[in-house]
Amino acid sequence: MNKTHIAFIIFAGFFLFLPQYTLAETIRYQNVAPIFNERCILCHAGPGASNGFQMETYQNLIKGGNNGVVIIPGEAENSELYKRIKGTSQPRMPLTGPPFLSNDQTELIAQWINQGALDSIVEDNLDSTNTTASTTLDAGISTRKQTADSGQVTFDDVKSIFIMRCMKCHSPNGIMGSPPENYLMDNYQNILSANDRARIVPGNPAASELIRRIRGQSLPRMPLDGPPYLNDDETSLIEKWVEQGARDEDGLKATIPTDAKIRLHGRYTARWNLDGNLPFKITGNTRIKKSPNLGDYVQLRGRLDTDGNIIADRLRRRD
């Protein structure tokens, strides 16, 4: 073998062992946007976006949220977005996980950031991608309104509202660490749980703490990061869901948690009545504290009977 052949082999070997990424296709926003649209915009969209971080558009992604930028072009490992997706920064995202993003999806986002977090290649593609995200949100809102106006409401119809507006706090690894008052809202069973007290009374929205918190009858009003709070269509849909028996995704009604504790706040608007639509029963064992007068803001503690009515243990004026 002569020197020319040897030089050629060495030269060819050099190119053979070049890192693969030098030959990889450039990753742009249009390549990663479908992942964000599918897994992120339920919580990170519109005026109620978690932590003010909206992800419907390229511009909003680069802008970041209330705590500043979350993408550092060229530095995936130092980008908060990537760290949350990877789980090296808590809480891991998306909050609906597991399942979290697949390894392929995570790696694609890392490549996109490391290559400079580039915008879509042409304006038409960017407009198309943004329209897809916006259309997805608008379609969801429209569907929820149609469901509220007619027909049976199941958990499948309301769960996206809980995901978008409640799970950021009420999940095992929420933004507050442990869920407030240990109330998890990450699935149907936990939302209906009455282990410490009932937040939902199937068939009785007025007696359901969840509804009263959403409406602001019980304080603090929820979600805690409002305003904006839930809009009228979302509130009506959840109320109708509870009124119809808090059906699961298969349409089966939930059972009333007989003898479960309740703890509600509201206005004492009539004798043994809160807010004009929630009567409760008094017994010889009911304690009346701090002499509540009509119009006072009060706390009501009690238990549920077999029909979902409230038997009061204590009525107390709240200053």
Residues 116 and 195 in one domain: no
Pick the range with the lowest mean pLDDT from 4-8, 103-107, 239-243, 285-289.
Answer: 4-8
> What gap in Å lies between CA 276 and CA 258, rounded to an integer?
24
Most confident of 37-51, 175-189, 295-309: 295-309
Same domain, 301 and 165: yes
| Distance between CA atoms of residues 162 and 168, nearest Å | 9
Within-domain flag for 14? no
Question: Can you tell me the distance from the alpha carbon of 250 to that of 82, in angstroms, rounded to the nearest whole number?
Answer: 36
pLDDT at 294 over 60: yes
Determine, yes or no, domain membership for 48: yes
Which of 102, 136, 170 finishes a domain? 136
pTM of this structure:
0.67
Lowest mean per-residue pLDDT among 10-19, 89-98, 221-230: 10-19
Q: Is residue 223 part of a domain?
A: yes
On whether residue 5 sits in a domain, the answer given is no
- Tell me which residue range forms the domain holding 105: 26-136
Domain match, 191 and 283 both: yes
- Domain assignment of residue 38, yes or no: yes
If asked whether residues 157 and 105 sit together in one domain, one would say no
> Residue 290: inside a domain, yes or no?
yes
Q: 273: which strand partners? A: 270, 279
41 and 168 inside one domain: no
Regarding whether 43 and 89 lie in a shared domain, the answer is yes
pLDDT at residue 79 in the model = 95
Domain boundary pick from 85, 108, 136: 136
pLDDT range class, residue 150, cuts 50, 70, 90: low
Total domains present in the chain:
2
**Statement to judge: residues 93 and 242 lie in one domain:** no
- Average pLDDT rounded to a whole number, residues 179-185: 93
46 or 139: which leads in pLDDT: 46
Please enumerate in sequence order all residues whose Cβ is within 8 A of that of 1, keeping only pairs 6 or more positions apart, or say none. Answer: none
In a domain, 225, yes or no: yes
What pLDDT is stored for residue 1 in this prediction? 52
Whether 41 and 161 share a structural domain: no
Position 189 in a domain: yes
| Cα dihedral: 97, 99, 104, 105 (round 10) | -40
